[in-house]
């Protein structure tokens, strides 16, 4: 007999939960109503001229919202707060006007500062208040706030004796606010007048000379160009106004102004005629006057002036109004900018050398700016019209002119000429007598071709995401961080609907937006195809220039980038036939329809060969002027076709297979591929290596490569001394091998591929590798070859090695080999293991932004997970679980097949204990630190997601959490949580980062953390608890981590309270998942005895919930145990004890829990009873009324013979200890009540 059981109290629990949820949901509405009343009182006081009383009313209203018990502010309360701050700012501005006449200047300046601060806070709160269909209202309020802040800034700048720097800063800020206001309210006369006033004051700065530093710099540049003064000799009396001021210094001053504040500085440059001056310098440099020949600028300085002027124009063009006002077709025409690139490219092809790649790159960056502006302007024009609730579009807005009609779109001919010239940079003297070092203008200079790739990416952007990528990539070095933030805030992709947008819009509005988005996509796709077709046409020669660049460069990475760009452009085409028509001639194909139907007869081979020979004879007679019979000419043609085929395999795999099988030289592609491999030309073999790597990734093209493997041709690439050539072949071998079940199951073949991957990762030079026989083992199917030379920093061999490794680590035995420090047999003693090398590469500078970063993240991720876990994760969010799927599959298998599968699983041996051991080895090998380095340097969302996923998997092993924290994982994850207003992708990354924090802190001793780590972890953990899109497991781990941290010290408890943690945890107690409810209850318990927590528990409605949770032990025992423990811990507080005994259900709770028969609950309730009795008075009487004394006496009598009781009821050791403690407490209760 363990105790008596009373009736279930589920009804009480349900009613209490509903009451509490209703109370919590109404709290925010009540706070807004109270704030509205105070706001009206403040408005009335302001109308009566009682400014101070109005300020007090608005302040009280703000405090009412901030003290809202819910702890969260929705869009309604955010907008209310923004309105209150705006009104209070107006009061401060009015007070400043009064104080300027009656009190000291200090009082006025303080009022102006308060006004500016309130306006800034109001804008921040307004950004949080996103209400569907309220754009006009938001703009109305935003306009008021911007006007009040700008007016306060102008008044501050024109008040008594501020220094010139402060005046200029305030006037610049005011101009920025007013320009933003006028961008959506162009007819605001007050704002326009205030802007004119600000500009008037701005023009008076500069020591009385009447010119700002921008004006002085532009005047200096004009004098340098013309050799004359400004016409006013009286102003040339200071040192910095002398005609011999360095022009480069003047340009640096302009760049500095833009770095400080791009909006007003760009406006000032444009208004003062700076575009014409800067463009003239960019085109012709700075010719000094005849009498100043002895002061001629050096060639290096002259070039720097041209580059700086282009950078300044590019930075100015990041501000859209600047382009609309000052960059028209008559002032900054794209053909003029294009001419700069063409002239520099022509000089680079001169046998005597010349041409500045930096100037050309800067000019192309400016063209990208203009392209991006035009594209973004079209996006705005297309998506600006408001969609009404009935699904119609506002006609007035639709017909409204956008302005800037004088701005011409960047013409296609200019882009094509510029890109073509850049791709052919230095090609005219590749075999000449010019300089051969990597200097500006040399054939090995890759800066211009890379800039041309950026230009093409922007010009051929086919969707909103591609446009944003081009926007992010086109910042000039002179751009400031503030201008970047402003520019990036105007994402084209923000027009895409999010889940929140769909919830707030009417169905017809959503449908209309979908139609509009589809129409824009079709139009933009059509335009992109037109651009690509024009560039790739034979008349333009752009595609041939790209292929010539790829075939002629010795930079393997540039070759890959060119190939990827061609592939991206071809992927825009929806129809494969359009690509075939466009590229058939470049591939040497006479009929683009070839291959539409597989040839059934095999007798056409000879005829096909004859046709090829006839075409080759014709080509020998006329091949673009090349010498007849030239082997180099024929090889170049094959290289171009091979590069084009490789690009198609990357961007259009089906067309790429067609090209390799049918189109390349009319079906002779594989044979010419063999010729490239056997040519011994480094560039040709590199292209062949890229091609076989790309072809092996496409299932339909893999069979075409089998002859290369069978004949041993691929081996020529595998043993090549150039690591970049070997790498592509090794990648091909890995993909073909793993695609073949027979080869994939052969452990020896897989280990051979692993050896090759490790060799590709190696950076040791030849001397270090010289060993016993000066030989190195490469592959089981390769020969002994001399040791491999060191790969350059720009080599793609490491990329390929990581690619091969990423394929191989899907095998369990490869994971074990790598984790256990594998290196190829016969390696020198000083050779690093595969894992050490991967960690070293990951920790290298700038590794996070390298192409290999995602591959490294994938490798580390796979090493820390089992195949079984990956299978389970694949079913998350599906309608069927993994176990259910396995059961369905088993129904169709014979017993023999089941046994074979079980043997295979057993052979894999990737059980949980193996994975845990592997994770421990990874941690000891500094893999967490490597992942941190990659995460810190990565700007790729996909790479960050993969790294955080890997960190989370490693953190699932409790024994390595401390090591991960020591190696920086926790700090890095916390740093990721600093951003505001994330998009959907960023939300997913933040969720993963917060989940990693939760996993690491579940069992970690908080004492090993720094104060900043403990306090900094609280916010992300609470956000994860609030995240409705997070998994229940994430919620549970976050709550357990909060429990761990909150129990450490009072400082952490204070942080939880400051972050509104009590209300957040209170909501989590009502989760649908039992374990989450229990974890939230335990987290709340660990907040005892914080004053805020005690105040929370003393409230009647909250206390009812906790009593109900304590009584719900039949349905949720863990939650009941935690809730009752919390009440027992809180009893020493007299006020809480008083509130508890006065609660309506106190007596029922005591009696029910004493008789429940659950030893853990009985122990806790007796602790609670002892605490209440010790308070005496009303608490003592309340306990007596529950009949706790007689119950305890009866309980003691029932178990007088404790030893016999233990034997009779067969208690476990844990239950025996609990029973002994309960009997001891029962005796104490009996003693205290006597």
Of 979 and 1062, the one with more pLDDT: 1062
pLDDT reported for residue 85:
92
What percentage of the chain reaches a pLDDT higher than 90?
A: 28
Q: Residue ranges of the alpha helices (H) in 129-245?
A: 135-157, 164-184, 189-203, 213-226
Of 845 and 662, the one with more pLDDT: 662
Phi-psi region of 657 (alpha: psi -120 to 50; beta: other; left: phi over 0): alpha
Confidence of residue 1114 (pLDDT cuts 50, 70, 90): confident
Residue 443 near residue 430, CB atoms below 8 Å: yes
pLDDT reported for residue 1213:
67
DSSP helix/strand/coil, 212: coil
Residue 775 near residue 787, CB atoms below 8 Å: yes
Residue 546 near residue 643, CB atoms below 8 Å: no
* Cα gap 136→739, rounded to integer Å: 58
pLDDT digits (tens, 9 = 90+) for 416-435: 999 999 998 877 544 443 33
pLDDT reported for residue 161:
61
Span 206-217, average pLDDT? 61
Structure tokens belonging to residue 809: 């680590």
Span 270-281, average pLDDT? 89
pLDDT reported for residue 319:
78
Residue 85 near residue 118, CB atoms below 8 Å: yes
Q: Residue ranges of the alpha helices (H) in 809-911?
A: 812-819, 834-842, 853-863, 867-874, 882-891, 895-908
Residue 845 near residue 936, CB atoms below 8 Å: no
Q: Residue ranges of the alpha helices (H) in 927-1005?
A: 927-937, 941-955, 961-966, 969-976, 984-1001
What percentage of the chain reaches a pLDDT higher than 70?
A: 74
Confidence of residue 813 (pLDDT cuts 50, 70, 90): confident
pLDDT reported for residue 904:
63
* Cα gap 78→32, rounded to integer Å: 10
DSSP summary character for residue 663: I
Confidence of residue 17 (pLDDT cuts 50, 70, 90): very low
* Cα gap 174→188, rounded to integer Å: 15
pLDDT digits (tens, 9 = 90+) for 987-1024: 889 999 999 999 999 999 999 998 889 989 999 999 99
Tracing tokens 């004493």 back to the chain, one arrives at: 1154
User: Quick count: other Cβ atoms within 10 Å of Cβ 607?
Assistant: 9
* Cα gap 490→471, rounded to integer Å: 10
pLDDT reported for residue 790:
35
Span 379-400, average pLDDT? 65
Tracing tokens 């500094």 back to the chain, one arrives at: 926
DSSP helix/strand/coil, 515: helix
Under 8 Å CB-to-CB from 1175, ≥6 apart: which residues?
1134, 1137
Distance of CA 1061 to the CA centre of its chain: 27
* Cα gap 417→459, rounded to integer Å: 13
Phi/psi for 775 (5° steps) reads -125, 160
pLDDT reported for residue 433:
37
Residue 738 has pLDDT above 70, yes or no: no
DSSP summary character for residue 1168: H
Residue 657 has pLDDT above 90, yes or no: yes
Mean pLDDT of the chain: 78
Residue 379 has pLDDT above 80, yes or no: no
pLDDT reported for residue 261:
77
* Cα gap 1210→1204, rounded to integer Å: 10
pLDDT digits (tens, 9 = 90+) for 947-989: 999 999 999 999 999 999 999 999 999 988 766 667 778 888 9
DSSP summary character for residue 204: T
Q: Residue ranges of the alpha helices (H) in 1069-1116?
A: 1074-1085, 1091-1098, 1100-1111
Of 599 and 1164, the one with more pLDDT: 1164
Q: Residue ranges of the alpha helices (H) in 537-604?
A: 542-552, 556-571, 576-587
Write down how long the chain is.
1234
Residue 1115 near residue 1156, CB atoms below 8 Å: no
Distance of CA 337 to the CA centre of its chain: 33
Residue 870 has pLDDT above 50, yes or no: yes
User: Quick count: other Cβ atoms within 10 Å of Cβ 248?
Assistant: 16
pLDDT reported for residue 699:
86
In this predicted structure, which of 793-807, 1106-1120, 1151-1165 has the lowest mean pLDDT?
Answer: 793-807
Distance of CA 942 to the CA centre of its chain: 8
pLDDT reported for residue 903:
65
* Cα gap 566→587, rounded to integer Å: 14
Confidence of residue 226 (pLDDT cuts 50, 70, 90): confident
Residue 455 near residue 367, CB atoms below 8 Å: yes
**Secondary structure (H, E, C), 696-756:** HCCHHHHHHHHHHHHCCHHHHHHCCCCHHHHHHHHHHHHHHHHHCHHHHHCHHHHHHHHHH
User: Quick count: other Cβ atoms within 10 Å of Cβ 785?
Assistant: 15
Span 1049-1078, average pLDDT? 91
pLDDT reported for residue 579:
92
Structure tokens belonging to residue 1121: 């145990």
pLDDT digits (tens, 9 = 90+) for 877-913: 666 666 666 666 666 677 776 666 666 666 556 788 8
Residues 469, 472, 478: CA angle, nearest 5 degrees: 155
pLDDT reported for residue 76:
64
* Cα-Cα end-to-end distance for the chain: 26
Residue 625 has pLDDT above 50, yes or no: no
Confidence of residue 474 (pLDDT cuts 50, 70, 90): low
Residue 163 near residue 205, CB atoms below 8 Å: no
Distance of CA 135 to the CA centre of its chain: 28
Residues 1167, 1172, 1177: CA angle, nearest 5 degrees: 160
* Cα gap 377→674, rounded to integer Å: 50
* Cα gap 735→698, rounded to integer Å: 9
| Residue whose C-alpha is closest to residue 563's, from 639, 629, 472 | 639
* Cα gap 308→261, rounded to integer Å: 17
Residue 532 near residue 579, CB atoms below 8 Å: no
DSSP summary character for residue 776: E
pLDDT digits (tens, 9 = 90+) for 26-43: 555 566 778 888 888 999
Of 381 and 225, the one with more pLDDT: 225
DSSP helix/strand/coil, 786: strand
* Cα gap 348→625, rounded to integer Å: 22
pTM of the model: 0.65
User: Quick count: other Cβ atoms within 10 Å of Cβ 18?
Assistant: 10
Confidence of residue 180 (pLDDT cuts 50, 70, 90): confident
pLDDT reported for residue 333:
83
pLDDT reported for residue 570:
93
pLDDT reported for residue 463:
65
Under 8 Å CB-to-CB from 921, ≥6 apart: which residues?
819, 820
Tracing tokens 């210094």 back to the chain, one arrives at: 249
Tracing tokens 């001891």 back to the chain, one arrives at: 1224
pLDDT reported for residue 132:
38
Tracing tokens 């006479």 back to the chain, one arrives at: 590
pLDDT digits (tens, 9 = 90+) for 306-365: 999 999 998 888 877 888 888 776 778 888 888 999 888 888 877 556 788 899 999 998
Residue 10 has pLDDT above 90, yes or no: no
Confidence of residue 1211 (pLDDT cuts 50, 70, 90): low
Of 870 and 471, the one with more pLDDT: 870
pLDDT reported for residue 791:
36
* Cα gap 1108→1104, rounded to integer Å: 6
| Residue whose C-alpha is closest to residue 359's, from 342, 381, 379, 382 | 342
């Amino acid at each position: 007999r363990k105790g008596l059981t009373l009736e279930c109290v589920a009804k009480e629990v349900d009613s209490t939960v509903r009451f509490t949820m209703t109370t919590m949901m109404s709290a925010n509405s009540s706070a807004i109503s109270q704030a509205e009343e105070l706001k009206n009182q403040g408005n009335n006081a302001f109308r009566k001229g009682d400014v101070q009383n109005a300020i007090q009313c608005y302040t009280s209203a703000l405090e009412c919202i901030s003290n809202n018990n819910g702890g969260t502010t929705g869009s309604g309360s955010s907008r209310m707060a923004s309105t209150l701050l705006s009104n209070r700012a107006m009061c401060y501005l009015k007070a400043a006007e009064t104080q300027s006449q009656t009190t000291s200047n200090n009082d006025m300046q303080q009022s102006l500062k308060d006004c500016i601060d309130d306006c800034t806070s109001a804008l921040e709160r307004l950004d949080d208040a996103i209400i569907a269909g309220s754009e006009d209202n938001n703009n109305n309020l935003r306009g008021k706030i911007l006007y009040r802040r700008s007016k306060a800034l102008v008044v501050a700048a024109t008040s008594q004796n501020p220094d010139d720097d402060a005046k200029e800063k305030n006037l610049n800020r005011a101009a920025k606010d007013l320009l933003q206001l006028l961008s959506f309210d162009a007819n605001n006369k007050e704002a326009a007048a205030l802007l004119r006033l600000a500009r008037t004051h701005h023009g008076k700065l500069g020591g009385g000379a009447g010119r700002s530093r921008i004006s002085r710099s532009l005047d200096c540049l004009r004098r340098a160009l013309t050799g004359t003064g400004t016409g006013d000799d009286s102003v040339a009396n200071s040192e910095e106004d002398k005609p011999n001021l360095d022009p480069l210094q003047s340009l640096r001053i302009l760049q500095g102004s833009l770095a400080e504040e791009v909006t007003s500085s760009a406006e000032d440059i444009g208004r003062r005629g700076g575009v014409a001056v800067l463009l003239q310098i960019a085109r012709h440099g700075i010719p000094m006057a005849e009498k100043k020949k002895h002061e001629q600028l050096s060639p290096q300085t002259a070039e720097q002036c041209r580059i700086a002027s282009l950078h300044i124009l590019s930075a100015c063009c990041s501000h859209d109004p600047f382009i609309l006002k000052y960059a028209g077709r008559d002032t900054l025409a794209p053909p003029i900018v294009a001419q700069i690139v063409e002239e520099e490219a022509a000089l680079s092809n001169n046998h005597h050398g010349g041409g500045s790649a930096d100037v050309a790159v800067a000019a192309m960056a400016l063209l990208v700016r203009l392209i991006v502006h035009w594209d973004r302007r079209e996006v705005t024009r297309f998506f600006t019209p408001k969609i009404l609730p009935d699904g119609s579009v506002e006609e007035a807005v639709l017909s409204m002119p956008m302005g800037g009609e004088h701005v011409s779109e960047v013409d296609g001919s200019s882009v094509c000429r510029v890109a073509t010239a850049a791709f052919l940079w230095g090609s005219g003297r590749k075999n000449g007598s010019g300089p051969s070092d990597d200097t500006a203008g040399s054939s090995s200079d890759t800066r211009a071709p890379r800039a041309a790739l950026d230009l093409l990416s922007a010009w051929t952007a086919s969707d909103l995401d591609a446009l944003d990528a081009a926007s992010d990539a086109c910042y000039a070095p002179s751009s400031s961080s503030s201008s970047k933030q402003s520019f990036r805030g105007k994402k084209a992709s923000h027009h895409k609907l999010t889940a929140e947008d769909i919830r707030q819009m009417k169905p017809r509005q959503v449908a209309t937006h979908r139609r509009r988005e589809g129409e824009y996509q079709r139009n933009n796709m059509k335009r992109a195809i037109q651009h690509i077709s024009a560039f790739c046409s034979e008349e333009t020669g752009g595609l041939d220039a790209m292929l010539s660049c790829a075939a002629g460069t010795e930079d393997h990475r540039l070759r890959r980038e060119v190939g990827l760009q061609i592939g991206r452009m071809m992927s825009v085409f929806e129809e494969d036939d359009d690509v075939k028509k466009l590229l058939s001639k470049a591939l040497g194909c006479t009929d683009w329809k070839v291959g539409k139907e597989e040839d059934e007869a095999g007798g056409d081979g000879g005829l096909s060969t004859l046709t090829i020979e006839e075409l080759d004879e014709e080509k020998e007679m006329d091949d673009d002027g090349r010498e007849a019979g030239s082997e180099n000419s024929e090889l170049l043609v094959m290289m171009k076709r091979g590069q084009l085929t490789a690009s198609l395999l990357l961007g259009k795999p089906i067309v790429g297979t067609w090209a390799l099988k049918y189109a390349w030289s009319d079906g002779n592609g594989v044979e010419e591929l063999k010729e490239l491999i056997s040519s011994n030309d480094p560039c040709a073999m590199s292209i062949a290596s890229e091609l076989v790597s790309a072809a092996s990734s496409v299932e339909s093209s893999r069979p075409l490569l089998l002859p290369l493997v069978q004949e041993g041709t691929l081996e020529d690439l595998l043993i090549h001394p150039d690591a970049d050539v070997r790498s592509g072949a090794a990648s091909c071998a890995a993909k073909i091998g793993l695609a073949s079940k027979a080869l994939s199951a052969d452990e020896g073949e897989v280990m051979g591929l692993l050896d090759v991957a490790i060799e590709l990762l190696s950076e040791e030079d030849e001397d270090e590798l010289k060993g016993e026989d000066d030989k190195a083992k490469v592959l089981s199917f390769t020969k002994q070859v001399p040791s491999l030379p060191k790969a350059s920093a720009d080599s793609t061999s490491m990329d390929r090695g990581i690619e091969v490794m990423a394929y191989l680590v899907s095998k369990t035995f490869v994971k074990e080999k790598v984790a256990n420090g594998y290196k190829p047999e016969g390696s020198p003693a000083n050779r690093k293991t595969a894992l050490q090398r991967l960690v070293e590469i990951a920790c290298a500078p700038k590794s996070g932004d390298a192409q290999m970063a995602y591959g490294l993240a994938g490798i580390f991720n796979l090493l820390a997970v089992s195949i079984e876990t990956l299978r389970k994760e694949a079913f998350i969010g599906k309608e069927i679980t993994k176990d259910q799927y396995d059961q369905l599959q088993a129904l169709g298998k014979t017993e023999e097949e089941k046994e074979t599968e079980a043997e295979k699983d057993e052979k894999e041996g990737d059980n949980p204990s193996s994975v845990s051991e592997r994770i421990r080895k990874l941690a000891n090998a500094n893999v967490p630190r490597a992942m941190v380095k990659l995460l810190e340097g990565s700007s790729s969302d996909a790479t960050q997601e993969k790294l955080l996923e890997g960190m989370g998997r490693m953190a699932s092993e409790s024994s390595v959490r401390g090591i991960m924290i020591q190696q920086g994982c926790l700090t890095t994850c916390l740093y990721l949580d600093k951003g505001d207003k994330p998009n959907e992708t960023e939300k997913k990354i933040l969720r993963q980062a917060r989940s990693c924090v939760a996993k690491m802190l579940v069992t970690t001793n908080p004492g090993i953390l720094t104060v900043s780590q403990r306090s900094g972890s609280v916010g992300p953990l609470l956000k994860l608890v609030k995240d409705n899109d997070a998994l229940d497991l994430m919620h549970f781990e976050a709550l357990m981590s909060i429990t761990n941290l909150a129990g450490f010290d009072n400082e952490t408890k204070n942080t939880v309270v400051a972050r509104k943690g009590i209300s957040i945890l209170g909501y989590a107690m009502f989760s649908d998942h039992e374990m989450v409810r229990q974890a939230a209850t335990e987290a709340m318990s660990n907040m005892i005895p914080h004053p805020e927590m005690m105040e929370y528990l003393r409230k009647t409605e909250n206390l009812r919930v906790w009593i109900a949770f304590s009584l719900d032990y039949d349905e949720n025992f863990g939650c009941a145990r935690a809730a009752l423990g919390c009440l027992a811990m809180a009893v020493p507080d007299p006020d809480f004890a008083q509130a508890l005994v006065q609660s309506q259900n106190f007596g029922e709770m005591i009696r029910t829990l004493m008789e429940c028969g659950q030893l853990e609950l009985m122990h806790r309730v007796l602790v609670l009873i002892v605490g209440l009795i010790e308070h005496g008075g009303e608490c003592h009487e309340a306990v007596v009324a529950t009949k706790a004394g007689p119950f305890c006496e009866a309980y003691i009598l029932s178990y007088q013979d404790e030893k016999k009781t233990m034997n009779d009821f067969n208690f476990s050791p844990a239950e025996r200890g609990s029973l002994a403690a309960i009997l001891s407490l029962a005796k104490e209760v009996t003693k205290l009540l006597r």
